[in-house]
Structure 1
Amino acid sequence: MTDLAKRNLKILGNSSSAGGSFQNIGITGECRFTGDVDCVKFTLTGNTDIEGNLRAEEIKLTGECNIRGRIDALSVKGRGELRVDSRMKAERFGYEGHLEVKEDCEAGEFRLSGVFEIGGLLSGDRLDIGLFGYSRAADVGGGAIRIKRSKGFKLITMVHPSREARFECGTIEGDLVELEYASAAIVRGGSVIIGPGCEIETVEYRESLEIHRSAKVGRKVKV
C-alpha cells in the first residue's frame, strides 16, 4: 500500500485499535493499540498504550504514552510521560517531562528538560539535558554532551525543598563533555568541564580539563 493510499485515523474520546499502517494518526483522549503502529505523523493529546512498536516520521506527544516495543522516528517532541519498553531511535528528540527507555536510546540531537532513566546506552551527536530530578543511564556517548540542572529547578525547590536533581552513570564519553551534579565511574573526552556537585572516579581528557572547586575527582589522566 502506498503512502497516498493509507488512511488517516482520528480518535476523540476513549477507543481501541488493532494498530496497522496509516497516513496520519491524531488522538485526543485515550486509545489502546493491540499491535504495531506505522504512520507518517502520530499526534497525541491524552493517554495511549501501544502493545507493539511505533514507527513514524513525526511523533508529537502531550500527555502519557506507553510503548511496549520500540520507537523508530525522524522526530519526537512533546511534554508529559513517555515510557518505552525496548529501545528508541530518532534523528531529533526534544521533550519536557519524564522519559524512560528500558534499552538503548539513540538520537542525532537529544534535548530533554526533566527526569529520565535509560537502561542501556544514551548516545547522540548532541546531548543537551536539563535535570529536574534524579536521573540515570547505564552509559552515555556522543559528540557534544551537556548535562546540568535545569534553569527551572530553583523554582521547584521553593515548593519541594528536599527535591534533588542529580545524574548517575557508568561511563560518559564524548568530544566535548560538560557536567553538573553528575556521578560517574569514568568520564572521557577531548575537552572536559566538571562542574559543581560532580563526583567522578576517573577523568581521561585529550585537550583540556576544568574542575569546579566543589567537585570531587579521584584520578585525572591526560591521554
Structure 2
Amino acid sequence: MNEALERHDLKILGTSSSVGGVFKDVKVTGECTFGGDVDCVKLAQTGEVAVEGNLRAQDIKITGECKVKGRVDAASLRGQGELTAGGGLRIEDIKLTGGIIVTGDCEAEQVQLTGIMEVSGLLNAEKLDLTLFGPCRADTVGGGNISIKRSRSGALLRPGKKMSFAARLIEGDQIELQHTQAQTVRGGSVVIGPSCEIETVEYRELLEVHKSSIVRNTVKM
C-alpha cells in the first residue's frame, strides 16, 4: 500500500460514487462505484461495491457483492458474499461463505471457503479447504494441503444442483477430494473420496480410492 500519502476515512451511506484514491478505512453501507484504484487499510462493505481499477487493502470484510475490474491484493478476506476479481487475486488469508470468481490466478496462504470458486488460471494455496455449494472450477490447483468436499447442507438445500469441482491438474502434498473431475492428480498422500472421476493419479506415499469413484490410471512415483 502507498504509505507516502496521508490517509482519511471514507464512509458511504446509501447510493454514491467516488473517483477512488488512497484511504484509511472505507466503510460502505449501500451501493458505491469507485471510478479508479482503491488503496486502503480496511474495506468494510454491506451491500454492493464496484471498483473500476485495482483494489489494495490490509483487510477486506464483505457482506454482499464486491466486483473489482482489476487486481485484488490484501492480507485478509472475511465475510459472506461474492468477490469478483478481473485481473487476478492475491490474499494471504481467506475465510468466506459465498463465492470467489477470478480471471487470472488466485494466490493465497490459507483458503477456507464454503460456496463457489471459479479461477480461470492457477489456484495456489498452502492450505485449501473448499466446501462445495455449487459447480466450481480452476485450470490448475497447487498447494500443500488440499481438501475439496461437498457441503452436506448444500445438497439438502439445493437438490438437483450440481456440486462438483473441475480442474485440469491438482498437485499438492496432502490431497483429499470428493465430487471432483480432473485430468491429473499428483501428490504425496492422495485420498480420492466419493463421486470423483480422475484420468491419472500420480502418488508418492499413499493412494486410497472410494468405490464410487473412477480412476483410470495410477502411477506410483
Q: Post-superposition shift, 1:81?
A: 1.7
For residue 161 of structure 2, the aligned residue among 160, 163, 167 is 163
CA distance in 2, matches of 1:134, 1:60: 24
Counterpart code for 2:206: S
What per-residue deviation string (whole Å, max 9, x for no partner) do you get for residues 113-167 of structure 1?
001210000001100000011111001000000000013223214xxx2112011
Which stretch of structure 1 is more off in the superposition, 183-192 or 82-91? 82-91
Paired position in structure 1 for 2:106: 105
* 1:36–1:50 Cα contact (<8 Å) kept: yes
Does residue 213 of the first structure (1) align with residue 211 of the second (2)? yes
Unaligned runs of 5+ in 2: none
CA offsets 1:8-57 (integer angstroms, 9 cap, x no match): 00010011001000011000000000000001001000001100000000
Partner of 1:25: 26
Q: 1:105 to 1:196 in 2, by over 3 A?
A: same
Code of the residue aligned with 2:162 in structure 1: it is E
Structure 1 spans left out of the alignment, 5+ residues: none
Whether the 8 Å contact between 1:104 and 1:119 is mirrored in structure 2 is yes
Matched, 1:66 2:67: yes
3-state SS of the aligned residue for 1:5? coil
One-letter amino acid of the structure 2 residue matched with residue 72 of structure 1: D
Q: Secondary structure at the match of 1:152?
A: helix
Shift of residue 78, structure 1, vs aligned partner: 1.3
Matched ranges for 1:125-136 at <5 A: 125-136=126-137
Could you say which residue in structure 2 is the equivalent of 1:77? 78
Contact 1:179–1:193 (8 Å) recurs in 2: yes
Counterpart check, 1:189 vs 2:187:
yes
Matched residues, number: 220
Q: 1:179 aligns to what?
A: 177
TM-score, normalization by structure 2: 0.97
Question: Deviation at 1:4?
Answer: 8.8
State how far apart, in whole Å, the 1-side matches of 2:203 and 2:42 are.
42
For 1:86 and 1:122, the matched residues in 2 are separated by 14
Assess if the C-alpha contact under 8 Å between 1:200 and 1:218 holds in 2: yes
Which residue of the partner structure matches residue 140 of structure 2? 139
Conserved in 2, the CA contact under 8 Å of 1:29 and 1:45? yes
CA spacing shift, 1:96–1:3, aligned 2, 3 Å: farther
Aligned residues: percent identity?
51
Q: CA deviation at 1:5?
A: 3.1
